[in-house]
Amino acid sequence: MDHISPVLWQFLQKWLTHFALFPPEASTVAPESDALFFFMVLVSLIGLTIVVLLIVGFSILYSKKRHPQAVQIEGSTLLEATWTIIPLGLFLVMFVWGALLYFRIYTPPANAMNIYVVGKQWMWKAEHPGGQHEINALHVPMGRPIQITLISQDVFHSFSIPAFRVKREAIPGRYTTVWFEATAVGTYHLFCTQYCGTD
């Protein structure tokens, strides 16, 4: 980061760390997940800019004032192939990158510590390997893979720790798993991202 001003870099770090919609990175998978997210945002912004510039440019260039009489414009196979192949390539990169990340997130390592979590209106009940129980809290060691095995006691729930970039559904009658490895000591929010209501 030699080419960025230290003051600007410090501002960006603090802004991203404390920005409510973008939680801090606190797991091994968080930087990879964020890199994919920022890549997709960047591709979308570049695509949006190109489309807007082309619309504005063609609106001015081919306006009725400049061309009162309509003329037939022949297509270009090379141009059509270019605007088809480049976005296709970018979408394939995003697909493969996302698929690899998905399998990494949902395939726990063999040495992961298993914690059972039961979703219930309106709480998460966690049971550690030593028999300790927690309600709406989860204390885990840093630097060790943690596998969360989820099930729901009543309706669909969705276990989420945004700082770890993990989210997994808890389904009645079926076990699901997700894993993470914490990299920063701290207190992070544990959410249910499914609206279950009273029914």
148-170 pLDDT per residue, tens = 999 998 888 899 888 888 889 99
CA 168-174-178 angle, 5° bins? 30
Distance CA 146, CA 155 (A): 25
Least confident of 136-140, 142-146, 193-197: 193-197
Condensed to tens digits (0 to 9), the pLDDT of residues 84-116 reads 999 999 999 999 999 999 998 888 898 999 999
Distance CA 192, CA 178 (A): 14
Q: Is the distance from CB of 192 to CB of 123 less than 8 angstroms?
A: no
Q: Can you tell me which residue has the tokens 């726990």? A: 108
Would strands 113-120 and 145-152 be described as parallel, antiparallel, or unpaired?
Answer: parallel
Q: Is the distance from CB of 145 to CB of 112 less than 8 angstroms?
A: yes
What DSSP line would sit under 133-178, residue for residue? EEES-----TTSEEEEEEEESSS-EEEEEGGGTEEEEEBBTB-EEE
pTM: predicted TM-score of the whole model, two decimal places: 0.75
> 24 is written with which tokens?
């801090």
Q: Tell me, what's the pLDDT at 58?
A: 87
Q: Is the distance from CB of 125 to CB of 148 less than 8 angstroms?
A: no
The answer on pLDDT for 190 being more than 90 is no
Averaged over 25-41, what is the pLDDT? 90
Distance CA 51, CA 49 (A): 6
Distance CA 30, CA 20 (A): 16
Q: Tell me, what's the pLDDT at 198?
A: 64
- Chain mean pLDDT for the chain: 87
Give the count of beta carbons closer than 10 Å to the beta carbon of residue 180: 23
Which residues lie across from 90 on neighbouring strands? none
Region of residue 13 (left: phi > 0; alpha: psi -120 to 50; beta: else): alpha
